[in-house]
Amino acid sequence: MPWFGPGHQDCQDHGERCRPLALFIAGDPSLAWRPSVALVGSRSPTPGGRALAARFAGCFVEAGLAVTSGLAAGIDAAAHQATLDAGGCTVAVIGTGPDRAYPDSHARLQARIATEGAVLSEYLPGTPARPGHFPARNRLVAGLALATVVVEAAQRSGALITARLAAEAGREVCALPGSVLNPRAAGCHRLIREGAALVERPEEVLELLAPALRQQLPGLQSRLATPTEQAPPVLLPARWADDPDYQCLWRALDHNPSSMDSLITRCGLTAPQVSSMLLAMELAGIVVCVHGRYCRTP
């Protein structure tokens, strides 16, 4: 369909540089003009990064926003999947023809998005993935969304291109801070130094967007009318509540990844004990391993 069509004059201005000559859309075309937030980041995120992308996506769905991303591996896919699982609308902007999936492993997810959301491409059917397509894809992701949120990004991540293009188009740019030990947080820290909004909770993104959306999204109004609170803390399961070793290990863990040696020293337990307990906590979903270090699930 042409980018300019009947009724589109009243849609939000996506910026002259962003506009392609035409879009091929599989799914609901109206979603391309629905207020949305872009969630982008690393193609190889930490488990905590995936969890945060899912949490932010779920909150945006609850507020009535669509979630836009680029259907890349990692944060993009996590954002799309979480949005669909929450019953929301997601827009995937791809760097291939609308009938091609990249990577191939995302064919099923892309088909689901085409059924329940929208898949957008400016490339003719049959067009394969080429390196130059993805920066161009990023400009559409940035232009379609009211804000771009970078969850995790290394220093040379493509997500930083999306963030720069969003800033140039006058959009809000937000970045989640991370551990200084996590190389996938370095790009986010750079964005924050350059002026991106530091956000730790999805409600903070909604507050930034409130002036533009108060009259458009009743879900956002009700969310903003309620004092925002931190997400409920992850608790130690009841089966371990009376076990002093598990209690000690749980107190030693926080949201900054710790090495096995550090946890052993803090708890005074043996390596086999701590290793076994951490595995049980991972299986229970309350601990994640990040590059061989352990922290509580975000």
Is residue 240's pLDDT more than 70? Answer: yes
Let me know: does 67 contact 92? Beta carbons within 8 Å: no
Is residue 84's pLDDT more than 90? Answer: yes
Let me know: does 204 contact 197? Beta carbons within 8 Å: yes
Query: Cα–chain-centroid distance for residue 168?
Result: 21
Residues 203-227 have pLDDT tens digits of 999 989 887 776 565 555 555 554 5
CATH number at 238-296: 1.10.10.10
Is residue 22's pLDDT more than 60? Answer: yes
Is residue 3's pLDDT more than 50? Answer: no
Q: What percent of the chain has pLDDT over 70?
A: 87
Would you list the domain boundaries of the chain?
8-225, 238-296
pTM of this prediction?
0.72
Look at residue 18 in the predicted model and tell me its pLDDT: 56
Is residue 165's pLDDT more than 90? Answer: yes
Q: What angle do CA 228, 40, 91 make, to 5 degrees?
A: 90
Report cis status (omega within 30 of 0) of the bond before 227.
no
Look at residue 237 in the predicted model and tell me its pLDDT: 86
Look at residue 231 in the predicted model and tell me its pLDDT: 52
Query: Cα–chain-centroid distance for residue 286?
Result: 20
Of the pLDDT bands very low, low, confident and very high (cuts 50, 70, 90), residue 241 is confident
Residues 106-161 have pLDDT tens digits of 999 999 999 999 999 999 999 999 988 998 899 999 999 999 999 999 999 999 99
Residues 167-204 have pLDDT tens digits of 999 999 999 999 999 999 999 999 999 999 999 999 99
Q: What percent of the chain has pLDDT over 90?
A: 60
Cα–Cα distance for residue pair 47/59, rounded to 1 Å? 19
CATH fold group of domain 8-225: Rossmann fold (3.40.50)
Buried b (16+ CB within 10 A) or exposed e, 131-144: eebbeebbbbbbbb
Which is more confident, 279 or 200?
200
Cα–Cα distance for residue pair 124/121, rounded to 1 Å? 8
Residue type at position 188: C
Q: What is the 3-state secondary structure (H, E, C) of the chain?
A: CECCCCCHHHCCCCCHHHCCCECEEEECHHHHHCCEEEEECCCCCCHHHHHHHHHHHHHHHHHCCEEEECCCCCHHHHHHHHHHHCCCCEEEECCCCCCCCCCHHHHHHHHHHHHHCEEEECCCCCCCCCCCHHHHHHHHHHHHCCEEEECCCCCCCHHHHHHHHHHHCCCEEEECCCCCCCHHHHHHHHHHHCCCEECCCHHHHHHHHHHHHCCCCHHHHHHHHCCCCCCCCCCCCHHHCCCHHHHHHHHHCCCCCECHHHHHHHHCCCHHHHHHHHHHHHHCCCEEEECCEEEECC
Look at residue 233 in the predicted model and tell me its pLDDT: 66
**Among 35-39, 80-84, 258-262, which is the least confidently predicted range?**
258-262
Asked whether this chain's domains 8-225 and 238-296 adopt the same fold, the reply is: no
Let me know: does 279 contact 271? Beta carbons within 8 Å: no
Average model confidence (pLDDT) across the chain: 86
The Cβ of residue 93 has, within 10 Å, a number of other Cβ atoms equal to 28
Look at residue 11 in the predicted model and tell me its pLDDT: 35
Q: Sheet containing 147-150: which strands, arranged edge to edge?
A: 24-27, 118-121, 90-93, 66-69, 36-40, 147-150, 172-175, 197-198
